[in-house]
Amino acid sequence: MAKSRYEYVKEFEQDRILLPNTFIVIRIDGKSFHKFSKDYNFIKPNDLRALKLANAAAINVKRSIKDVILAFGESDEYSFILKPDTQLFNRRESKLISTFVSIFTGNYIALWSKFFPDSPLNLNNLPSFDCRAVAYPNLSILKDYILWRFVDTHINNLYNTTFWTLVEKGGLTTQEAETRLKGTLASDKNEILFKEFGINYNEEPEIFKKGSLIYKDEILHIDVFKKIDELLKNYE
Ligand code: ATP
Ligand code: ATP
Ligand code: MG
Ligand code: MG
Each residue of 60-71: pLDDT tens digit? Answer: 999 999 999 999
Task: Count the Cβ atoms, other than its own, within 10 Å of residue 38.
Answer: 11
User: Taking a C-beta distance cutoff of 8 angstroms, is the pair 172, 166 a contact?
Assistant: yes
Separation CA 169–CA 163 (nearest Å): 10
Residues 6+ apart with CB under 8 A from 17: 90, 91, 92, 93
Confidence (pLDDT) at 1: 72
Domain that holds residue 43: 22-227
User: Quick check: is 191 in a domain?
Assistant: yes
Ligand 3 center to 32 CA (angstroms)? 5
Q: What is the pTM of this model?
A: 0.93
Domain presence at residue 232: no
| Residue 5 falls inside a structural domain | no
Q: What is the Cα–Cα distance from 151 to 145, expressed in whole angstroms?
A: 10
DSSP 201: G
Task: Give 44-47 contacts, CB < 8 A, sequence gap 24+.
Answer: 44/160, 44/164, 44/168, 45/157, 45/160, 45/161, 45/163, 45/164, 45/208, 46/157, 46/160, 46/161, 46/205, 46/207, 46/208
Asked whether residue 14 is assigned to any structural domain, the reply reads no
Three-state secondary structure string covering 100-133 = HHHHHHHHHHHHHHHHCCCCCCCCCCCCCEEEEE
Residue 187 CA to ligand 1 centre (angstroms): 25
Q: How confident is the model at residue 99 (pLDDT cuts 50, 70, 90)?
A: very high
Mean confidence (pLDDT) of the chain: 97
Measured in angstroms, how far is the CA atom of residue 34 from the centroid of ligand 1? 4
Per DSSP bridges, beta strands 23-30 and 77-82 are: antiparallel
On whether residue 47 sits in a domain, the answer given is yes
Ligand 1: residues whose CB is within 6 Å?
29-34, 37, 42, 44-47, 50-51, 75-76
**Strands (E) located in 31-177:** 68-74, 77-82, 129-136
Atom of ligand 1 nearest to the CA of 50: 27
CATH number for the domain harbouring residue 157: 3.30.70.3000
Atom of ligand 1 nearest to the CA of 33: 7
Q: Is residue 9 part of a domain?
A: no
Domain count, the chain: 1
pLDDT band for position 202 (cuts 50, 70, 90): very high
What is the per-residue pLDDT across 4-47, written as a single tens digit (0 to 9) for each?
Answer: 999 999 999 999 999 999 999 999 999 999 999 999 999 999 99
For ligand 3, the distance from its centroid to the CA atom of residue 186, given in whole angstroms, is 24
What residue type is 102 in one-letter code? S
**pLDDT for position 2:** 79
What is the arithmetic mean of pLDDT over 65-94?
A: 98
166: in domain:
yes
Q: What is the number of the ligand closest to the CA of 38?
A: 1
Considering the domain boundaries, does residue 2 fall inside one? no
- Name the closest-CA residue to atom 24, ligand 1: 75
CA-nearest residue, atom 25 of ligand 1: 75
